[in-house]
Amino acid sequence: MNTPSLYRMWITYSVLLGIVAITGIALAQGQNPDAKCLICHAKSDLSRIESDGHKHSLFVDSSAIRASVHGKWSCNDCHAAVTTIPHAPGVPRVECTRCHFAGNRMGAPESLIYDQYKESVHGLAAAAGNQKAPHCQNCHGTHEIRRLTDTLSTMSRNSVAKTCGSCHVHEFTDYRVSVHGSAVEKGNKDAPVCTNCHGEHDIRAHSDPTSKVNSANIPNTCSACHASEALMEQYGVKGVQVETYDESYHGIAVKFGQKQAANCASCHGVHDILPANDPRSRVNVANIPHTCGGCHPGANANYARGRIHVDAENKDAGIIYYIASFFKYLTIGTLAVLILNIILDLRRKLTSRKPHK
């Protein structure tokens, strides 16, 4: 075989190998539409420096995406603004409402949560231009979004407080050591997390009359758990806290719209609620004068001598039960005598009106 023939054969084989290689790459990218994106974003050190000097990682873990609720979707399904590779800097934030809207055909959950978010304290702050206001991604995650039942989800019961705490650091610090936070950390499924009290997508400022933590609504929010006697007895909390508060001066004043009247949080605290036997608790015997003194100047040790959340109809209330019972029966007896007196008086008058024969 002469040299020109060998040369032509080599050229032919080279072209064929090139075609096979290009075809293989095209097929691979066809099977994995994210391959082009991952050429850069699969690099663990890929990042950018934000305007505040914070280093923001641009690394994308493809395995995390596959394990997420969006595992079957490609990058471009969310990052629709990216039309060329490499793309221009300043890629806009992904809008989740691109798929999550009523009547969508993608199978995305449908609800009013996006409308609720727009009216929430977070949504209003974001609309006002607050760069630190949270969007969907800040709470639910970006590429690693998982179902709420997944323990690895940023919004699972065990993770909610930590997620909220990424912004609300002081509140998270108090909550972690509280009776509620410590119970959640131990795996207690009855103990409340942030969303139980504040809401989820409809979180509103405590000054908003519709907020679950508005002073007028706090008793109802707390009663979601504390009105259940069975639940309270299960955890050693004796008494009927909700009923006794509702019947107290404070409870009645709150129902009539008195904003200065004490509610549950006024005495027990907000995020730092602790058991009464804890020396740090606001309702510990040693601290009650100071707690009550917030509204009642001059509160002294006598404030701590009285019993709290007393049910006057229960014998456990001691002398209060007997005093209440005495006045109850005294009232019943007095009314009975008055009614009998009225009946006898009417009978006498009716009898006196009959004509004499």
HSE-up (13 A, CA, CB side) for residue 2: 1
Report, in this order, helix, strand and coil percent for the chain, each rounded to 5.
Answer: 50, 0, 50
Task: Pick the more confident residue, 208 or 25.
Answer: 208
Rounded to an integer, the average pLDDT of 297-309 is 85
Which region holds residue 279: left if phi is over 0, alpha if psi is between -120 and 50, else beta? alpha
CA distance 354 to 156: 83
Residues spanned by the domain of 320: 315-357
Does residue 19 have a pLDDT over 70? no
pLDDT at 2: 55
**pLDDT at residue 20 tops 80:** no
Instruction: Return the pLDDT at 3.
Output: 57
User: Is residue 16 one of the residues assigned to a domain?
Assistant: no
Output the DSSP codes for 184-253.
Answer: HHTT-SSS--HHHHH-STT---TTSTTSTTSTTTHHHHHHHHHT-HHHHHHTT--S-HHHHHHHSHHHHH
pLDDT band (50, 70, 90) for residue 4: low
Query: Rounded to the nearest 10 degrees, how much is the dihedral formed by the CA atoms of 101, 104, 110, 113?
Result: -10
What mean pLDDT comes out for the span 134-139? 94
Question: Would you say residue 134 has pLDDT above 50?
Answer: yes
Count of CB atoms within 10 A of residue 218's CB?
Answer: 20
pLDDT at 1 over 90: no
pLDDT band of residue 26 (cuts 50, 70, 90) is very low
pLDDT digits (tens, 9 = 90+) for 218-273: 999 999 999 998 899 898 887 788 888 998 999 999 999 998 999 999 999 999 99
Q: Answer yes or no: are the C-beta atoms of 84 and 95 closer than 8 Å.
A: no
CA distance 193 to 245: 23
pLDDT at 223: 94
Q: Return phi, psi of residue 272, to 5°.
A: -105, 35
Here the tokens at position 254 are 């709150």
Q: Is 340 within a domain?
A: yes
In this prediction, residue 12 carries a pLDDT of 61
Separation of alpha carbons 160 and 166, rounded Å: 10
Region 94-104: what's the mean pLDDT? 86
Question: Residue 287 is encoded by which pair of tokens?
Answer: 């601290």
Residue 33, pLDDT score:
75
> Which of helix, strand or coil describes residue 329?
helix
Which of 1-10, 80-89, 124-133, 336-345 shows the lowest per-residue confidence on average (mean pLDDT)?
A: 1-10
Does the pLDDT at position 87 exceed 80? yes
Q: Which of 179, 83, 77, 167 is nearest to 121 (CA)?
A: 167
Mean pLDDT of 303-321: 80
pLDDT of residue 113: 85
CA 156 to CA 159: how far, in whole Å? 5
Q: Tell me, yes or no, whether 132 lies in a domain.
A: no
Q: Is pLDDT of 342 > 90? A: yes
What phi and psi, each to the nearest 5 degrees, are found at residue 49? -100, 125
Residue 90 within a domain: no
The answer for residues whose C-beta is within 8 angstroms of residue 308's C-beta and 6 or more apart is: 283
Whether 328 is covered by a domain: the verdict is yes
Question: Residue 283: inside a domain, yes or no?
Answer: no
pTM value is 0.77
- Residue 68's Cβ-count burial label (10 Å; 0-12, 13-18, 19+) is buried
Asked if residue 330 belongs to a domain, the reply is yes
Alpha helix ranges (H) inside 106-211: 113-119, 121-127, 136-140, 160-165, 169-177, 179-185, 194-198
Instruction: Report the number of secondary-structure helices (H) and strands (E) in the chain.
Output: 18, 2
Total domain count, the chain = 1
With respect to residue 354, please indicate whether it lies within any of the assigned structural domains: yes
| Mean pLDDT, the chain, whole residue set | 87
Which residues make beta-bridge pairs with 56? Answer: 48
pLDDT at 194: 97
Residue 193 has a pLDDT of 97
Range of weakest confidence among 2-11, 280-289, 312-321, 331-340: 2-11
